[in-house]
Amino acid sequence: MTNQTDPTGDVRLTGISKTYGAFTAVHPLDLTVPQGSFFALLGASGCGKTTTLRMIAGLEEPSSGTVFLGDQDVTALPPYKRPVNTVFQSYALFPHLDIFENVAFGLRRRGWKSVKKQVEEMLDLVQLGEQARKKPHQLSGGQQQRVAVARALINHPKVLLLDEPLGALDLKLRRQMQLELKRIQTEVGITFIHVTHDQEEAMTMADTVAVMNAGRVEQLGTPADLYENPRTTFVANFLGTSNFIEAEVDSKSGDDIVLKAGGGKLLLPEARCGAPTTTGGKVLVGVRPEKISLTHADDAGEIPEGRNRITGRIADSSFIGVSTQYVVDSPVCADFEVYAQNLDRDPRLVPGAEVVLHWNPAHTFGLDATQDADAGVEEAA
Ligand SMILES: Nc1ncnc2c1ncn2[C@@H]1O[C@H](COP(=O)(O)OP(=O)(O)OP(=O)(O)O)[C@@H](O)[C@H]1O
Ligand SMILES: [Mg+2]
């Protein structure tokens, strides 16, 4: 682990906001990014990611609030006086300079005479030692992107800001570069704040993800925590897919809440419920598609006791190699999604088949039913 606990390098935003006339791009925001962490700001287009990043860089003046780097209040400092560098989506390399000179640029500007050792170290770090004498147009998109990272890192910033740096790359190269950037960050141990609208990208790379929605951070946590314990329907839908059943609180049984949905009962661990649990209250019961098993109705007797179960009919199925994705119509929820790993495929599980969906109650989460169950669905698409 390169994560350091030295608080002198944390990025701390307190009450930071940005308004343009009557429009609020970023609502007052408190956020701490620990030194050495790989932090992602994730959200749909227009939610305020770039604006937040630009306020950290000093490229945008906040309407309120303070930016701290460690103990230093940098809010009034111009960008070049902050120990921060930014890599943008368009890498903006100098076309007439070769790769070596592109990377050396920051040092030369500060009057360094001998830069060879530093530049070579940086080129090795991004695995471009062989390409030093090429011009930017002779490199692939991914290679150019790595030059941009090297050019920023050679200044030894405390924080590297990355604004959709992989946006211009095709999918395969993007996946490769995600791992590459993660490796570089681990090696140098510098704080990376990475802006993206791609949830898979944020989950692959970051230690901590802040999910932004309409100028606010909706939830912050590790990728696994956000995925397993979403606190809003927006987060549940924006990160992966969630099924929701509207249910009513019936009673309590040990650590579980018993809920009524349709004619049946569902169990929900009380600790995983973010809604009021008074009897008669409404809860949105959430469950991820890969947590659910599908059993043909004829075999319903074989389903172990103690699992949550609902009945339905397969409306659609698509075979995608590692798994089959089913859409099931159920009286309690239209378009229930189920992902089944391709182990032993039951040939009876085809559109039209009557099925029982069942899952471990521990994999159920409960959300406040006053929210829109479809929030974040479109944005994630
Ligand atoms: N200079 C400006 N004047 C007025 N509105 C602005 C200005 N800059 C940004 N905005 C608005 O602020 C909101 C947030 O913009 P921002 O660039 O931070 O979004 P983003 O999350 O980075 O989106 P994207 O993923 O599309 O890059 C948007 O609605 C945008 O139109
Ligand atoms: Mg942006």
Average pLDDT rounded to a whole number, residues 152-165: 91
Please report, rounded to a whole number, the percentage of residues in the chain having pLDDT higher than 70.
Answer: 98
Q: What is the DSSP code string of 106-161?
A: HHHHTT-S--HHHHHHHHHHTT-GGGTTS-GGGS-HHHHHHHHHHHHHTT--SEEE
- pLDDT at position 34 is 94
pLDDT of the residue at 3: 43
Examine the pLDDT at 84 and tell me if it is beyond 80: yes
* CB neighbour list of residue 152: distance below 8 Å, 6 or more residues apart: 85, 86, 87, 106, 160
Q: Work out the average pLDDT over 314-331.
A: 95
Domains with residue ranges and CATH for the chain: 7-235 (3.40.50.300), 243-368 (2.40.50.100)
Q: Ligand 1, closest atom to CA 212? A: 21
- What pLDDT, on a 0 to 100 scale, did the predictor assign at position 377? 87
Q: Is the CB of 272 under 6 A from ligand 1?
A: no
Q: What tens digit of pLDDT does each residue of 226-261 get?
A: 999 999 999 999 999 999 999 999 999 999 999 999
| Nearest residue to 376 via CA among 273, 274, 244, 236 | 236
pLDDT at residue 140, rounded to an integer: 87
In this prediction, residue 27 has a pLDDT band, given cuts at 50, 70 and 90, of very high
Residue nearest to atom 8 of ligand 1 (CA): 51
Answer whether residue 333 shows pLDDT above 90.
no
| Residue 290, SS3 per DSSP | helix
Per the CB < 8 A criterion, the answer to whether 374 and 234 are in contact is no
The response to whether residue 51 sits with its C-beta less than 6 Å from ligand 1 reads yes
- Per-residue confidence (pLDDT) for residue 345, from 0 to 100: 83
Model pLDDT for residues 95-121, shown as the tens digit of each residue: 999 999 999 999 998 898 889 999 999
Model confidence at 381, pLDDT cuts 50, 70, 90, reads: low
Strand pairing category for 38-42 and 208-213: parallel
* 85, pLDDT greater than 50: yes
| Residue partners of 132: CB distance under 8 A and separation at least 6 | 98, 99, 100, 119, 120, 123
Mean pLDDT for 144-154 is 90
Ligand 2 centroid to residue 318 C-alpha, Å: 34
The structure's pTM equals 0.89
